[in-house]
Structure 1
Amino acid sequence: MSHSQPPRPPVKRKRGIILSTRGWQRLQAAEQRSVTQDNFGKSYTLQDLSERTALSPNTLARVRSRKVAVDQQTLENYFRAFDLLLTPDDYTDSETATLSNRQHILLSGQLPVDSPFYVYRPPIENICYESLLKPGALVRIRAPRQMGKTSLTARTLTQLREQQQFLTTITSLQLADASVFQDLKRFLQWFCAIVTQNLGLPNQLDRYWDDLFGNSYNCTNYFESYVLAEINAPIVLALDEVDAVFDHPEIATDFFGMLRAWYEKSRYGDAKSELWQKLRLVLVHSTEVYVPLNLNQSPFNAGLAIELPTLTLENVIDLAQRYGIEQAEETAAALLNLTGGNPYLVQVGLHHLSTQVVSLNELLESAATSDGVYANHLRNLLWDLQKYPELMSAFKRIVLADSAVELEPILAFKLQSKGLVKIKDPMIQPSCQLYRTYFQQALTTT
């Protein structure tokens, strides 16, 4: 008598891995290359990716959030769609990944280079990278504070170091003490010393600085005869927060004129041009240049200009999915309306929603209050404004007006650099609803 065996349950694919930082970086880089080459620079939607990978939009959202574990076959399919081979370094177990992701969420300042929450804004990243490959390049990156300028710069420099063996250094001019801005000689010597230190070279100012010559000549000679002569590889010198020099016009005129001269030196075609072609400059600033500079002596009308835009609805939806927000489209639309697409404000909101500290309705209702998730940020902005009565008075006028207003250009530029206003020449209005609501209340009680 034979006994039939009960049917075996279907074998379930084992779930339990999440993209590692390395895997996420590789996948993002491959997607961005494809966006540039195959999609006219337009970011892929989840539906686009679904058609390309044969994975459902929900599965793709789980993969991209890096919070919900999936099976290995899913990751292999995703990678294969972009001509990548999945390796063991591209994924990790879910517990390790969750802890790692939380450690990569920073709610102020530059995002870590390997952060899964960096938002690509093609074709900007590729243009920056490609431009700096060119000898003697000059790239200018401008956007208000907390728009992602330093994060973009750091990612570009990392790519140049790793893929091209360039030497790179990024120096924030806000690190200079007030005493450094006392006179041009002190400032340029500080500049030489800090760059030399960042490049790992000993300070040789005593050897190359001769007071018989002008300060700009001495600084130029220091780079030409020492720094560029000593280093064989191309050097990318990124200067962050160059706005710090704008308030010192007696220094700004000579310093920026010198940088423009360096840019021109690589184009002279003389014996020293090849030396200067090794140097590539990146100038990062938050506002329009409001110091008087001769057009032929300004670096701000030469080279490549990059202006970082605010986030689009598609950007915010993508970011919400990475944070694991279930109603990503509804959440993205609400946050975009509140923040105007400011990357920092969007990140703060999504972080708190993803940790379930607040619901979307609670976040929106309390956003401009002392109990909301933006309370510390808003208070810091108010304290900063209070240091500059003229700026505070001008911004009060803007937030209380029923429509956009005109303002003296320098005041407008300074408010724009703080991210508080947007300018549609010559009219100015608050950059987002959050700032309008909060400062309407705060500035009528001060």
Structure 2
Amino acid sequence: MRDSEYDIAVLKIDYQPNHYLPLGIVSDEHITDEIVAVGYPAGHKPENTQIKTFVGNISGFRTDNKIENDAVKGQGQSGGLIYHYKTHRIIGLATAGYKPEVMLNTGLATRFEPLLKKWREFKQINQVVAQAWIKRLREKTPPPDKPLPLEPCGGAMPLDSKFYVERQIDADFQTAIKRRDGIVLLKGPRQVGKTSLLARGLQQARCAGVRVLLTDFQKLVEPQLQSSDTFFLAIAQMLARQLRLKISPQQSWSSDYTASGNFENYFLDEILANIEEPVLWAIDEADYLFHYPFSREIFSMLRTWYNDRALNPDGPCSRLTLAIAYATESYLFIKEQNQSPFNVGTKLVLEDFSPKQVADLNQRYGMPLKNNKEIKQFHQLVGGQPYLVHCGLNEIVSHKLRLDEFIRKADHEEGTYGDHLRRIVTLLNRDEPLFQAMQQVLRGEPCPDSDSFYRLRSAGILRGNSKNNVSLRCEIYRRYLKKHLL
């Protein structure tokens, strides 16, 4: 085929807000302004693999919405962007060149005025077209020849897991790390995938040259939690081991300072001051500390470091990002909100799997759910809760169960979710206010108070926006808890 038969110009209007040039409009007052044509001229030639730029000027405007210019020299530049120096905007796409017998070294670029006038209409059309193509591709995509090898359920998923479902929050977390945000909060109820998300974000950071530190507060043992002194020393020792520092915390600890003061000095002077790269300190299960009296000291310190980024932009904290994963509403335990790190920075909330994400996982498991109706039934049973979804599909595949068999036995004591459901009842039996609040919700009444609502939602039992707008997270919880609490 001739070039003119398959040459095409494409404008991509999706963008990342950190690195894009906006579209613009030019008029007669911009004639003679300097422009640059950017692209891959004659890109069909194997030797033309490098992006090229052509500098020129606007010479005039045609009545057919074309910009006449000498930056587009001729054939082979179609699709190239036209950058306008004065406004710092992209003002058109190279679409044609004059034939030599008409005019030498002059080409045409199509202006964006009609596009911008119909922008809202195009966005709607784009959504319809995208959804149609997604549907067609899903229908045409054959299921895998055989299911992937099963993995154990529960806990953080390995980095190479074939069953990890990427959500929008994965990209948002990585973007926040690349931006070097001061604090990134990862909030979500129990067993929704916070640790797995955190692990993948940290791996991306390592690959980008960021020094990564990780502390899981849930791994602290009772002797380390006896007092402020034992806690801060234990945290400092953990970080020192990860970085293999020569100076131990004990060597720098001084009786002139409080435990938190000693830790802050060690972190700033021995850790941050000796690392040139950006530093990411990830804290998992942060709310594990909420019940301890010294939690105010550590969280107040983190908030101070965040504030210091603005007050001292050249200081050591300017290179520090804190990624904090937690489930419980912090304000229930931290009364001084101006000393809390949980109401500043970038907050990312993990949600349950959507039916589409369950359908994706179902395909990876070898299609044990046979059709959309079964996927919908299964999603309603487990509410998209990631742990319940993975364990349920695992059970159906490993025991070759029909969905109706699985649903019938799902809330039995010896069923797939028996241990998980018993732990919920044990939690409620140990806390009389939560037990009574749960009984009210099961009767179809509102949650009696906000404290109980937020604690039950953080535990992953309830969903909703307030104590008056609340429901069980999934059908299996409703069935099991009604049998054992009412």
TM-score grouping bracket, smaller chain normalisation: 0.7 to 0.9
Quote how far apart the aligned CAs of 1:382 are: 2.4
Tell me what 1:297 maps to.
Answer: 339
Counterparts of 1:169 and 1:211, CA distance in 2: 27
Counterparts of 1:45 and 1:240, CA distance in 2: 37
* Contact 1:144–1:417 under 8 Å retained in 2: yes
Alignment match of 1:171 (pick from 193, 196, 215): 215
Tell me what 1:138 maps to.
Answer: 183
Counterparts of 1:35 and 1:418, CA distance in 2: 37
Counterparts of 2:414 and 2:250, CA distance in 1: 55
Counterparts of 1:202 and 1:387, CA distance in 2: 46
Within the alignment, does 1:102 sit opposite 2:145 as a pair?
A: no
Question: What SS is found at the alignment partner of 2:250?
Answer: helix
* Contact 2:212–2:281 under 8 Å retained in 1: yes
Tell me what 1:48 maps to.
Answer: 133
What one-letter code is carried by the residue in structure 1 that aligns with 2:186? Answer: I
* Contact 2:437–2:447 under 8 Å retained in 1: no
Alignment match of 2:172 (pick from 127, 147, 156): 127
Quote how far apart the aligned CAs of 1:270 are: 5.8
Counterparts of 2:194 and 2:347, CA distance in 1: 13
Q: Structure 1: which 5+ runs fail to align?
A: 1-33, 69-97
Counterparts of 1:406 and 1:195, CA distance in 2: 42
What one-letter code is carried by the residue in structure 2 that aligns with 1:168? Answer: V
Within the alignment, does 1:369 sit opposite 2:412 as a pair?
A: yes
Quote how far apart the aligned CAs of 1:396 are: 2.9
Counterparts of 1:107 and 1:431, CA distance in 2: 20
Alignment match of 1:154 (pick from 181, 199, 210): 199
Tell me what 1:182 maps to.
Answer: 226
Number of corresponding residues:
364
Quote how far apart the aligned CAs of 1:282 are: 0.6
Paired residues for 1:7-406 under 5 Å:
48-49=133-134, 57=138, 60-62=141-143, 65=144, 67-68=145-146, 101-102=148-149, 105-122=151-168, 124-135=169-180, 137-162=182-207, 164-202=208-246, 204-248=248-292, 250-269=293-312, 273=315, 275-289=316-330, 290-325=332-367, 327-399=370-442, 401=443, 403-406=444-447
Question: What SS is found at the alignment partner of 2:351?
Answer: coil
Quote how far apart the aligned CAs of 1:175 are: 0.9
Per-residue CA deviation, residues 306-350 of structure 1 (Å, 9 max, x unaligned), is: 111111111111111121215242232011111111111111111
Per-residue CA deviation, residues 85-121 of structure 1 (Å, 9 max, x unaligned), is: xxxxxxxxxxxxx6xx425x23101111111111122
Question: What SS is found at the alignment partner of 2:213?
Answer: strand
Quote how far apart the aligned CAs of 1:136 are: 5.4
Counterparts of 1:436 and 1:332, CA distance in 2: 19
Question: What SS is found at the alignment partner of 1:422?
Answer: strand
**Compared CA separation, residues 282 and 61, structure 1 to 2 (3 A):** farther
Counterparts of 2:16 and 2:140, CA distance in 1: 24
Tell me what 1:76 maps to.
Answer: none
Quote how far apart the aligned CAs of 1:36 are: 7.7
Determine which structure has the larger strand proportion and give its number.
2
Within the alignment, does 1:434 sit opposite 2:476 as a pair?
A: yes
Counterparts of 2:473 and 2:247, CA distance in 1: 44
Quote how far apart the aligned CAs of 1:393 are: 3.4
Counterparts of 1:118 and 1:141, CA distance in 2: 17
Q: TM-score, normalised by structure 1?
A: 0.75
Counterparts of 2:405 and 2:246, CA distance in 1: 55
Counterparts of 1:333 and 1:131, CA distance in 2: 34
Quote how far apart the aligned CAs of 1:239 are: 0.6
The percentage of counterpart residues that share the same residue type is 27
* Contact 2:334–2:340 under 8 Å retained in 1: no
Counterparts of 1:404 and 1:308, CA distance in 2: 27
* Contact 1:237–1:281 under 8 Å retained in 2: yes
What one-letter code is carried by the residue in structure 1 that aligns with 2:300? Answer: G
**Compared CA separation, residues 338 and 60, structure 1 to 2 (3 A):** same
* Contact 1:45–1:314 under 8 Å retained in 2: no
* Contact 1:168–1:199 under 8 Å retained in 2: no
Tell me what 1:412 maps to.
Answer: 453
Counterparts of 2:328 and 2:390, CA distance in 1: 22
* Contact 1:252–1:291 under 8 Å retained in 2: no
Q: Structure 2: which 5+ runs fail to align?
A: 1-13, 18-122
What one-letter code is carried by the residue in structure 2 that aligns with 1:301? Answer: N
* Contact 1:137–1:263 under 8 Å retained in 2: yes
**Compared CA separation, residues 47 and 367, structure 1 to 2 (3 A):** farther
Q: Which has the larger radius of gyration?
A: 2
* Contact 2:213–2:239 under 8 Å retained in 1: yes
Determine which structure has the larger helix proportion and give its number.
1
Counterparts of 1:160 and 1:424, CA distance in 2: 33
Root-mean-square deviation (CA, aligned residues, Å) is 2.8
